[in-house]
Structure 1
Amino acid sequence: MGGVVSHFEITTVLSASPSQVFDACLDVEAHTRSMASSRERAVGGNTRGRLAVGEMVTFQARHFGVTWQLTARITSWNPPHSFVDEQEAGPFQYWRHVHHFEPHGQGDTLMTDVIDFASPLGPLGRLADVTVLNWYMPRLVRSRNAYLAATL
């Protein structure tokens, strides 16, 4: 990936085992429920159940008053420790989300989301990243993680 990429990491402690959290993060329906505020739904690929390595799903959601679609593929898989999803098609020039899960305390999991992304359109995309997406994207991930914490 050439050009400037935005990067952020979020850690969350969840009251469930790494394998439970790993499975929940790959569950398409859990993902869409966690993103209900943006009316997200699965519209292509594997639209139900748990994703596995090599599989993909297309999500459709509404952000900033615009309907977007993003197709992601699970490109790396190390149950229950980590997996990676990467954009195959969608609004970003580049999108890569690494999910790490490790035991934490007695029965809990420390989940770390590592996300790298870049918008298209060169300098205009970089401006959108710096002024809007660098605060909006972490907020979305924190919201999803709060949903997982409440449901696990």
Structure 2
Amino acid sequence: MTTIKLQTEINAPIKTVFDLNRNIDIHKQSTSKSKETAIDGVVSGLISKGETVTWRGKHFGIYLTHKSTIPEMEIPIYFVDEMLEGRFKRFKHTHTFQQKNGGTIMSDTIEYETPFGLAGKIFNTIILKKHLTNFITERNNFIKQIAEKH
């Protein structure tokens, strides 16, 4: 299993940052490079506990789908999105939010396992981990820009 941990400081209220993170429309905008779009489940607006979304996006030159559910959520402290169907063996993204000095510390913990045994591990080491880290970092920077404009 691979774990990626990221932290972003945002000069905006915790509720604003929390809602931007669970907003399907903001996710589509922040991932426009990979042409991500919601094709099933919650396809617009705020996703909530117990709901699902299926994403379709272009990664590594091919279109992939990824269906996630939100099994846990405590507004505005944290939520978890977990893969139900997709290319990973296992994928879990925990989003946590902490109010600090009038701003918000946004933390991401991504835990995943790749399929395909040794070949999957090599792909992860050489390409995938860096790709996912950059993907989430770009998304977080997009959210930061929007949140700080409010």
TM-score band by shorter chain is over 0.9
**TM-align CA RMSD:** 0.7
TM-score by length of 2: 0.96
Matched, 1:65 2:57: no
1:95 counterpart (83, 91, 112): 91
Match of 1:76 among 72, 75, 78: 72
Could you tell me which of 12, 20, 23 is aligned with 1:16? 12
* Residues in 1 aligned to 2:93 and 2:59: alpha-carbon distance in whole angstroms: 19
Is the partner of 2:140 in helix, strand or coil? Answer: helix
Q: After TM superposition, list the pairs within 5 Å mapping 1:1-152 onto structure 2.
A: 5-105=1-101, 107-152=102-147
- Offset of 1:96 from its aligned partner? 0.3
Q: Give the number of aligned pairs.
A: 147
Please tell me the residue identity of whatever aligns with 1:72. Answer: S
* C-alpha deviation, 1:140, in angstroms: 0.4
Report SS of the residue matched to 1:86: strand
Scaled by the length of structure 1, the TM-score of the pair is 0.94
SS of match in other structure, 2:126: helix
Q: Provide runs of 4+ in structure 1 moved above 6 Å.
A: none
Structure 1 residue 126 displacement after superposition: 1.1
Amino acid at match of 1:70: H
SS of the residue corresponding to residue 44 of structure 1 reads strand
Please state whether the residue corresponding to 1:51 is helix, strand or coil.
coil
Amino acid at match of 2:134: R
Q: For 1:104 and 1:128, how far apart are their aligned partners in 2?
A: 38
The structural deviation recorded for 1:134 is: 1.3
Show structure 2 runs of 5+ residues with no match: none
After TM superposition, give the deviation of residue 127 of structure 1 in Å: 1.1
Please give the per-residue CA displacement for 1:1-27, whole angstroms capped at 9, x wherever unaligned: xxxx01010000112111111111110
Q: Secondary structure at the match of 2:49?
A: coil
